[in-house]
Structure 1
Amino acid sequence: MQPVLNVEDVRRVEAALTEVGVSVSELMHRAGAAAASEVARMEGADTVTVLAGLGNNGGDGWVAAENLHGKGFDVTVVTPVEPDDLRGDIARVVAKSAQDSGVKVVVGPPRETLDVLLMGSDVVVDAMLGTGFHGEPRAPFDIWIDSVNASGSHVIAVDVPSGLSAQTGLASGKYVVADLTVTMLSLKPGLLSDRGRDACGAIVVAPLAEQTERLVREADPVAWRADLDDYVDLLEPPSNAVDKFTRGSVLVVGGSSRFPGAPMMAAMAAARAGAGYVTLAVPAQIAPIVQSQMLEIPVVALPCEADGTFSLKAADLVAELAEKRSATLVGPGMRVTSGTVGIVSTLLAGKRPLVVDADALNCISRLTSNRVDDFPELLRRDAPLIMTPHRMELARLVGLQDTPPTSLTSAMEAARRIVWSDGGSEVCVVAKGSATACVSVDVAILPKPGPAALATAGSGDVLGGVIAALLARTGVENEDLPLLAAMACEMHGYAGTIAAERYGSRGVMARDIIDALGLAEDAFEEEVAFPDAAKSGREGRRDEGADGKGDE
């Protein structure tokens, strides 16, 4: 796994490196050399324009320019001010050095001149605004960002695409859309989430010093980005000596007259994800409708109210069914009533692995008056408990309805309030979003996100079914729950990619993701077990977010 550090922790690592003898100047020279190395690796890259800012990020750009000039590249640096007028001492020194070496310098060009220069460049190096940036880019950088994005040239960002927050992955204004980002020392959460997924392109991590790995780990990473080989131990060895009982059994509890389809999708997803036996428990009022659609999956009709929701009488019956299954998923489409709240509280008190999704999460919010972290005894159990909230559900769980999480980092903070209040390894929160974090009391794991095609109604129900199936099949220890959940997210992403290839990036519906799950799981397992053989098959098929050197 690859460590992910908050921006403030990266600064601490930089300070620690200076304490062990790696100066700020040396770090700048190594960062610039790393960026230059990526430019030099490109085929047909002869003409390079470097857009240099006023701080250390700009200094990295000046170093890269001098490095490339020394290798025979035609390099121009665009700067807002003359090198002598740069405020930072080190940035001023490296800028003067690059200028003295023969690098061409253009100071504060008008937009028309800049457009011509960038369009005539094979590569544009973005070294304008670094990891300390926040807010909206000011002139001239807002104009330069527009020019970069309109140039059509290959763009390499140094540390972070300008305009993007390396911490949150959000952008208040314009931001560079890069083809590759060379980030220094470690991954940052904003590079992997939200706008960062559009802005960064592939990501290469440049460690800069031999001490970096140790210091980054000592900095207590906020999360870890999963690599394919991290999942090897979770995969079941292939065998023909199986039957429907040895592949695990899943109970799905959900549905209402208003939402009969959600539990059906979850149950079908669990079956497609490899559970040997899936049972679906729904309110009696909708059971005939559900049975007519579910030929392979037994449907159990449970007591319900006149409005088509579960009655409180169903709670004990659900508990009996759950005790006979390897894992239970509760929540899809069930609504929030006294009956459904009773079912959720009864299942939480049970002794079998449990996945809580959708309205079951909202039932917990009602049980705890939107402060589940004040009621740790509700979640405390011996068996695994995986909760799968999206950001609004997460906000309701911890009383943040007015200020819901808007970024990966804030979602992780909210999820940690839940798992840390419980304090045990049996609870894992899958904080869903454009980038998802699987958070336990000990670790947060970031699976590689799937395509935008997953942003469709019912996709979360499908993910819940996949998680329940893997939980039933593998019987993992509590400590491995975040990794299991991350693996489910990646399989879900693979299925989304396959579905998008069939129906287009905007044409995918939840049922299409379900139909692709079996093929997706086979492809995923092949990549994990035989990554080199599978690599050519996945090139261009999925948004990896990074290349093999840094983030894969």
Structure 2
Amino acid sequence: MDANHRHTFDIDDAFLRAWPLPQPHAGGDKEIRGHVLILGGSREMPGAIILSATAAMRAGAGKLTIATGASVAQLVAMAMPEARVIGLEEHETDGFKLDALSTLDPLTDRVDAMLVGPGMRDEASTARLVHALLPSLDAAEVNLVLDACGMDALLRLPPDWPEGKPMRFARPVIMTPHCGEMAHLTGRDKDTLVDAPDAPAQTAAQEWNAVVALKGRRTVIAAPDGTLWQHDCAGNVGLAASGSGDVLAGIIAGLAARGAPPAQAACWGVALHARAGDRLAARMGTLGYLARELPGEIPALLEQLGGKNAVEEQAIRRESGEQ
């Protein structure tokens, strides 16, 4: 921990149990578990959005909509039978045309969280679409998670943006950069970020109005109000594999859809992701497990760490004679 950040909270089991996630009522339906919309994928990386979508559902979201390129929509739909899959028109660069706004904008009133970025490859097109979506997302108070090239909205500003004015989100968003992406977004040296991530994460969170989960061997999560959390992932190098970040972003989006505030969704998401890796490493070995295997560990971890679940609450009511 950096010496000037003495009040960083450690995300351990006791911390998580003291900050329980919102739980759906035992008699509720899929609507009360939250609706998550995931925008991403491309011709070369359709798997990323499948990983994120699976993780969001494993984190407890009740409804799932996926918006991806028309060229891969059918493939994604077959891989994710739980989802409504929308095919969007694409540029030759693999980005989505701004016409997608007419399809996505009406959905913002019906979703609780939106994840943008997994598997997307055209930073300019993605940034234009993010900026175009922000007004409706803000109006509907949708929790927005930006991952991968979705975060380039910070750097690629609309043509009418006031010159010299830095980007700052009107409502707090969640951002999930690794140190290389953080170096790209801030101009800081990557090695310095790896060695001392605390202060840069705090500064970025305050300047961007974002909950920033800066991923690394020690992941730090910073909130706009200056609060800082940390989670030590140094013992599990198996998480450093293709697709692992897509899974983490999906977990966070699923938790946000369930009603977790941005900071809680980020902290719990980082912890669940790491513990899923620990369970796989113990069972299969430190190296060689796949990102697609991480989401399957999440439901049991949620019950282990999250206190009473809806099934337990229902049993308690039956035993007490409640209807």
TM-score by length of 2: 0.83
Cross-structure match for 1:339: 125
Residue 455 of structure 1 pairs with residue 248 of structure 2:
no
- In structure 1, what is the Cα distance between the partners aligned to 2:145 and 2:289? 25
Aligned to 2:89: 303
Partner of 1:524: 305
Higher relative contact order (CA 8 A, sep 6+): 2
Q: Which residue is equivalent to 1:329?
A: 115
Of the three residues 140, 151, 162, the one matched with 1:361 is 151
Helix, strand or coil for the counterpart of 1:486? helix
Residue in 1 that maps onto 2:187: 399
Does structure 1 conserve the Cα–Cα contact (< 8 Å) formed by 2:2 and 2:198?
no
Q: By how many angstroms is 1:225 displaced? A: 1.8
Change (3 A) 1:243 1:413: same
**Please, which of 153, 163, 169 is the counterpart of residue 380 of structure 1?**
169
User: Which secondary structure does the structure 2 equivalent of 1:246 belong to?
Assistant: helix
**2:67 aligned residue:** 281
- Number of the residue aligned with 2:13: 228
* SS of structure 2 residue aligned to 1:245: helix
In the alignment, structure 1 segments of 5+ residues that lack a partner are 10-219, 369-373, 528-552
Within 5 Å, give how 1:111-126 maps onto structure 2.
Answer: none
Q: Secondary structure at the match of 2:218?
A: coil
1:294 matched to 2:80? The reply is yes
Aligned position for 1:434: 217
Distance 1:388-1:223 versus aligned 2 partners, 3 A rule = same
| CA distance 1:242–1:408, change in 2 (3 Å) | farther
Alpha-carbon offset, residue 482 of structure 1 = 2.9
1:233, distance to aligned residue in structure 2 (A): 3.3
Deviating more after overlay: 440-449 vs 325-334: 440-449
Per-residue deviation, 1:526: 5.3
Whole-Å separation in 2 of the counterparts to 1:329 and 1:465: 7
Q: Deviation of residue 307 (structure 1)?
A: 4.5
Greater Rg by CA: 1
Does the C-alpha gap of structure 1 residues 259 and 237 become closer, same or farther in structure 2, counting only changes over 3 Å? closer
The one-letter code sitting in structure 2 at the alignment partner of 1:452 is: V
Q: Give the letter for the 1:313 counterpart.
A: D
Residues of 2 paired with 1:506 and 1:306: CA distance?
Answer: 37
Give the letter for the 1:416 counterpart. Answer: Q
Partner Cα separation in structure 2 for residue 407 and residue 335 of structure 1? 24
User: Does the CA-based 8 Å contact 2:41-2:47 persist in structure 1?
Assistant: yes
Corresponding position of 1:100: none
CA distance in 2, matches of 1:365, 1:388: 15
Q: Distance in 1 between matches of 2:8 and 2:294?
A: 28
Residues 517-548 of structure 1, C-alpha deviation per residue, up to 9 Å, x if partnerless?
A: 21222223259xxxxxxxxxxxxxxxxxxxxx
* CA deviation map 1:236-295 (0-9, x unaligned): 357422211101110000011111111111011100110001111001111122122111
Aligned: 1:243 with 2:29: yes
Structure 1, residues 162-206: CA drift from partner, whole Å, max 9, x if none? Answer: xxxxxxxxxxxxxxxxxxxxxxxxxxxxxxxxxxxxxxxxxxxxx
Task: Give, as a single letter, the amino acid of the residue that structure 2 aligns with 1:300.
Answer: I
Preserved CA contact (<8 Å) 1:260 1:290: yes
CA RMSD across the alignment: 2.4
Q: Which of 377, 390, 393 pairs up with 2:178?
A: 390
**Contact 1:365 1:396 (C-alpha < 8 Å) held by counterparts:** no
Alignment of 1:4-403 (within 5 A): 6=3, 221=6, 223-231=8-16, 232-237=18-23, 239-349=25-135, 350-351=137-138, 352-367=142-157, 375-376=165-166, 378-382=167-171, 384-400=172-188, 403=189
User: What is the percent sequence identity of the aligned residues?
Assistant: 32
Residue 277 of structure 2 is matched in structure 1 by: 496
Alignment partner of 1:506 is 2:281: no
* Whole-angstrom distance in 2 between the partners of 1:387 and 1:5: 21
**Does the Cα contact within 8 Å between 1:312 and 1:343 map onto a contact in 2?**
yes
